[in-house]
Amino acid sequence: MTIAGAQEGAMYGIRRAVAAAMARDLTAFVLPGPSVARSMGIDLANAHLRLVGTPRHANLLIVVGPLPPGLRDAAAVTYAQMPRPRAILALGAGDIAPLPDADVSAPLTRAGLRSGLADLRRVIAAGAFRADTGEFNAPALEVRVEYTCPMHPEIIRDAPGDCPKCGMTLVPRETASDGHGGHGGHDMPREDRPNPADHAHAGHAQDAGGSGAYTCPMHPEVISDAPGKCPKCGMNLAKAEEVESHGHGHGHGHGHASHAPSAHGDHAGQDDKAGGSGAYTCPMHPEVISDAPGKCPKCGMNLVKAEEVESHGPGPGHGHGGHGGHGKQQDHSGHDGHAGHGGHSKAAIDGIEPHFMSMVEMTKDQPRSSDGLQMDWIKVPFGPFFPGLPAGLRLTLTLDGDTVAASDATSLVGATDLMDGPQMRVADFVERLATMMPLSPVSYRALACAAIEVAAGVEPDHDARRARAAAVERERIASHLNWLAEFGLQSGFLWLAARAGALQLAVQGADVAGIATQAGAIRRLSRRVQAAPLMRMRLRRIARIGKDAPASGPVELARGGGSDARTGDPTLKDLGFEMRVRNGGDALARLRQRCDEIAQSLDLIAAAGRIAVPQVPDVDRVSGEGAARIETPRGAAQLRVKLTDGRVVEADLDTPSDVNIALVETVTAQQELGDALSAVASLDLSPWEVRG
């Protein structure tokens, strides 16, 4: 037991009260997540803790097991969001940098959890708060610079360059170094924003300095005596009088920036000149006409078809709008008090001024919604720590209003090398593979042992095979119960989260007799879940997957067919295994499929009569190649190994989550946000298994 980073000293007044309250009522956020903790046998629900789904409501951070490198920066950001005072309890975590040292460290056991919490409460009650309760700094919290287009903020690059859509020079902005730190960096740096005071009339001819001066149509505060490019946006500088005549003149009109050209007689000649459908013009300089696509010789923007510009009218501030470049409403009392200065509305994106940009160009290349509208879509990140979603999964949803238009799911903990060096001892390899898969370690341990046995020409006896099969089926029950607990938490069925979590902990290390004792309660829960009207209403017709999409495990079997690796296993056939399927292909069918598998696994374990975790075979000095396939709780996994002189020299792994993660886009498309999150949860992904 280790207690670190504590301060000693007397407490007085409010400090004593805070210490006592915090020690009594610990609110905990768990890393990597409650599902990982349960799979490791850690019973957080009965530890007199209040588990919360956001670090902003927690005063205790519990780290369970070693943090994978991909989650370390995210963990630092999570800790930084916690209110002060705060504490860290590390269970079997070892080095947790870039997090600060744990206030209390304990072994990764239930007993370690109980003793660790007792020590933590004593430390807190004694007032031994961490010295750095005020501030916390880590590399993950440092700011980095990325580059975006002022006209197309969806374009983001790590290095300077030109916008691929309009050709403008990308401008820098600050953002969190790992992308987890929220959206504070999505505003343009202050120094790159036009100063309203300077911008008020900086582009007028009297400020520009006469006919020989050049200015930027987007940044009229930029003045030059010679032609060139704007140092802020990269556009070609234009003569000041041209800019003045296209939006900064004093004809403040009546806000007709969006009127069609035909409504204004002074534009009739331009309409005739633009001609038919083969003509191209510049949204910023409609006097520029070309027979072919290209870039505007004045500002460098991409030319668009003339009819598109006509249908949307000249750009904001063109002639009749006046002051089209002013992003926010300003006082123009010196201009006869005319109302409706075209282009004076607040920019759609804070810090990015529309200036003369027409709606044609602003919506050009934007995705088109199902209702036919083109609009700005919002990207919203979820994970890698989000209630109801597997720990380590980073899910980014692009929202069209409250509907998902696009999605992207990536793992921050998968794709670890199977081999730790050019060769490994067989025992080390088996242990490494099991450790890499914390949500189903027994299944992957069994898979590794089976592949090595094939390579070495070794075959376990009949009783060992039955006991091994029973161990995998026990893990299937525990894994499906774990999924039910997480799904209940995300869907608001707290009774399900509590009951399923408790049953999982009761069975995952139990022998045959212990599982038999819990079998009745597990079956009753399964029936209750399937019969719950609210559950059916919540999941029916959500996230339907067609039969043509590649899938594995319960996700595949819940759409009326597929394959199960257990079908060809003579040991499972001998125990009475028969493949079961459900119809529908939606989230409800997947729930029912997992409940069916739980019931069947209970029967298979009873038939086996004994449970034994696979033991590493003795393959000293053996050379050969072998492959094995096993049905894990999430589907079929296959491992190929090569042995040389009793050591593993090559290994290749295929997992079900590698297949199923590709379905995220399918199940979330056009779903409302709440349904989209439930859809992803229904896949039961394990980011730890993702190899691609």
Tens digits of per-residue pLDDT, 545-575? 999 999 999 999 999 989 999 998 999 999 9
Tens digits of per-residue pLDDT, 258-287? 343 333 334 433 444 444 456 888 877 777
Q: CA-CA distance, 367 to 373, in Å (whole number)?
A: 9
Q: CA-CA distance, 186 to 440, in Å (whole number)?
A: 39
- The mean per-residue pLDDT over the stretch 36-48 comes to 90
| Of 64-68, 102-106, 235-239, 355-359, minimum mean pLDDT range | 355-359
pLDDT number for residue 570 = 95
Tens digits of per-residue pLDDT, 657-668? 999 999 999 999
Q: Which residues contact 155 (CB under 8 A, 6 or more apart)?
A: 148, 149, 163, 164, 165, 170
pLDDT number for residue 302 = 79
Residue 321 pLDDT greater than 70, yes or no: no
Q: Averaging pLDDT over each range in 214-218, 374-378, 669-673, which range is the top one?
A: 669-673
Contact in structure between 478 and 504 (CB atoms under 8 Å): yes
- The mean per-residue pLDDT over the stretch 162-190 comes to 59
Between 692 and 362, where is the model more confident? Answer: 692
What one-letter code names the amino acid at 423? Q
Residue 240 pLDDT greater than 90, yes or no: no
Q: For residue 22, what pLDDT band results from cuts at 50, 70 and 90? A: confident
The Cα-based distances of 209 to 205, 226, 492, 671 in angstroms read 6, 12, 66, 56
Q: For residue 151, what pLDDT band results from cuts at 50, 70 and 90? A: confident
Contact in structure between 42 and 9 (CB atoms under 8 Å): no
pLDDT number for residue 370 = 57
Q: What are phi and psi of 479, to 5 degrees?
A: -65, -45
- The mean per-residue pLDDT over the stretch 7-21 comes to 63
Alpha-carbon torsion angle 166, 167, 171, 173, nearest 10: 50
Between 473 and 8, where is the model more confident? Answer: 473
Contact in structure between 263 and 255 (CB atoms under 8 Å): no
pLDDT number for residue 297 = 80
The Cα-based distances of 52 to 41, 121, 125, 514, 685 in angstroms read 19, 18, 22, 31, 22
pLDDT number for residue 449 = 97
Contact in structure between 306 and 281 (CB atoms under 8 Å): yes
> Which among 71, 68, 112, 105 is positioned nearest to 89, based on CA atoms?
105
Contact in structure between 551 and 664 (CB atoms under 8 Å): no
| Of 103-107, 313-317, 400-404, minimum mean pLDDT range | 313-317
Q: CA-CA distance, 282 to 84, in Å (whole number)?
A: 55
Exposed / middle / buried, residue 131 (Cβ in 10 Å: 0-12, 13-18, 19+) = exposed
Between 229 and 339, where is the model more confident? Answer: 229
Contact in structure between 389 and 677 (CB atoms under 8 Å): yes
Describe the crossing of helices 426-436 and 441-456 by its angle, rounded to 10 degrees. Answer: 150
Q: What are phi and psi of 368, to 5 degrees?
A: -100, 125
DSSP 315: P
Q: CA-CA distance, 335 to 326, in Å (whole number)?
A: 15
Tokens 């190649």 sit at which residue? 625
Two structure tokens written together for 215: 């200015």
- The mean per-residue pLDDT over the stretch 12-22 comes to 71
Q: Which residues contact 84 (CB under 8 A, 6 or more apart)?
A: 133, 134
Name the percent of the chain lying above pLDDT 90.
Answer: 48
Q: For residue 175, what pLDDT band results from cuts at 50, 70 and 90? A: low
Contact in structure between 149 and 365 (CB atoms under 8 Å): no
- From first CA to last CA, the distance across the chain in angstroms is 39
Exposed / middle / buried, residue 426 (Cβ in 10 Å: 0-12, 13-18, 19+) = buried
Tens digits of per-residue pLDDT, 415-467? 889 998 999 999 999 999 999 999 999 999 999 999 999 999 999 999 999 99
pLDDT number for residue 17 = 76
pTM over 0.75: no
The Cα-based distances of 645 to 343, 453, 623, 640 in angstroms read 77, 14, 5, 17
pLDDT number for residue 431 = 95
Q: For residue 182, what pLDDT band results from cuts at 50, 70 and 90? A: very low
pLDDT number for residue 534 = 86
Average pLDDT value over all residues in the chain: 79
pLDDT number for residue 140 = 75
pLDDT number for residue 144 = 65
pLDDT number for residue 311 = 52
**Exposed e or buried b per residue across 302-339, where buried means at least 16 C-beta atoms within 10 angstroms of its C-beta:** bbbbbbbbbebbbbbbbbbbbbbbbbeeeebeeeeeee
DSSP assignment of 326-375 equals --S----TTTTT-S--TT-SPPSBTTB--TT--HHHHSTTPPBPTTS-B-
Tens digits of per-residue pLDDT, 585-608? 999 999 999 999 999 999 999 999
Residue 102 pLDDT greater than 50, yes or no: yes
What one-letter code names the amino acid at 225? D
